Amino acid sequence: MAGSFNSAFDAAGGLARVIPWKTIIIGGALIFLASLAIPTSVAYISPGHIGIVIHRAGGGVDSVPLGPGFHTRNPLFTQIVEYPTFMQTLVLTKASTEGSANNDEINVNSVEGQPLSLDVSMSFELDPRHVPQLYQTFRTDISSIQHTYVKQSIRQALQEVIGQEAIADVIGPKKAEATNRTRKLIDERLASYGMLVRQFTINELRAPAGVIEAINQKNVMQQQSLTAQNELQKNTFQAQGDSIKAAGKAKAILAEATAQAKANDLLSRSITSTLVQYEVAKKWDGKLPTVSGGAMPMIQLPGSKP
């Protein structure tokens, strides 16, 4: 046993004399560095993301991004930055429970110069073909871009639209129209950077309390005026109806009176003395009337002369 150990020791000593110690140390260091470099020489892009290839030597960006999966790279000269391409939603609100912890509300002015604060949200996607240009322009992550350039684009678009409208219209009947016009402007400005707007919503509008009170009073007065107009119109229609009924009734009475007058005229002209005597003769029963005294009553028959 001791002989075997001594033989192995002698063999190792002989190998050490053949290979210098410096060579062994350098080889070990290279193997160690290689073990550290291998993981960084392979990049993995998650699903729903793309990779932006940055050349460290010159600072340039490849125009064609990397798709999801594994990709080899030179860790000394290239860097890969992931960008999400799935749908994202940017929430800009005063409340700290939505969006960020900061007050991200949008402040604009109406055509009268009245201040208006808005809570908005925008859903968007990134076109993978334009993401390298997006990174080349801003040199930061998408979250930072959202709260700087995108937020400013939304504020500018809202000011252009709401700045042309009365505050009462924006809060009331023209809110949907203002929302659609604002989305169109935002879409036009962000499309060149590969940001595709899928939805834009004005969630809440806040105006000064005095303005809201004035708008409410105006609405009440308009409602009262409308009610009075409806009542007046109703009374007018009713009066017209009564007038038509009265005219119709008077016309009917006049027609009836005219007809009666004509009938009476015809009747009076048809009654002659001959007709009267004839009617009397038809009703005479042939008996002479009984009278007291000695004189014989004279009865004149129809057609006889007195």
Q: Which pair of tokens denotes residue 241?
A: 């109806």
CA angle 35, 39, 40 (to 5 degrees): 110
Residue 248: per-residue pLDDT: 77
Please count the other Cβ atoms lying within 10 Å of the Cβ belonging to residue 91.
17
Query: Is the pTM of the predicted complex or chain greater than 0.85?
Result: no
In this prediction, the residues of the chain whose per-residue pLDDT falls under 50 are 2-6, 8-9, 11-12, 14-16, 18, 32-39
Helix, strand or coil, per DSSP, at residue 301: coil
What DSSP element (H or E) covers 295? none
Q: Which CATH superfamily is domain 88-207 in?
A: Band 7 domain (3.30.479.30)
Domain boundaries along the sequence of the chain:
7-84, 88-207
Contact at 8 Å (CB) between 90 and 143?
A: no
SS3 of 103-128: the string is CCCEEEECCCCCEEEEEEEEEEEECH
Q: Helices (DSSP H) in the chain: which residue ranges?
A: 2-18, 21-40, 131-138, 142-145, 151-162, 167-171, 175-190, 209-270, 273-283
Average pLDDT of the chain, as a whole number: 78
Residue 34: per-residue pLDDT: 46
Gap between the Cα atoms of 118 and 223, Å rounded: 28
Contact at 8 Å (CB) between 292 and 271?
A: no
Could you report how far apart the first and last alpha carbons of the chain are, in Å?
A: 196
Condensed to tens digits (0 to 9), the pLDDT of residues 182-230 reads 999 999 999 999 999 999 999 999 988 877 776 666 655 566 666 667 6
Residue 59: per-residue pLDDT: 73
Residue 12: per-residue pLDDT: 47
Contact at 8 Å (CB) between 98 and 65?
A: no
User: Residues near 305 by Cβ (< 8 Å), separated by ≥ 6?
Assistant: none
Tell how far CA 4 is from the center of its chain.
91
Gap between the Cα atoms of 155 and 200, Å rounded: 13
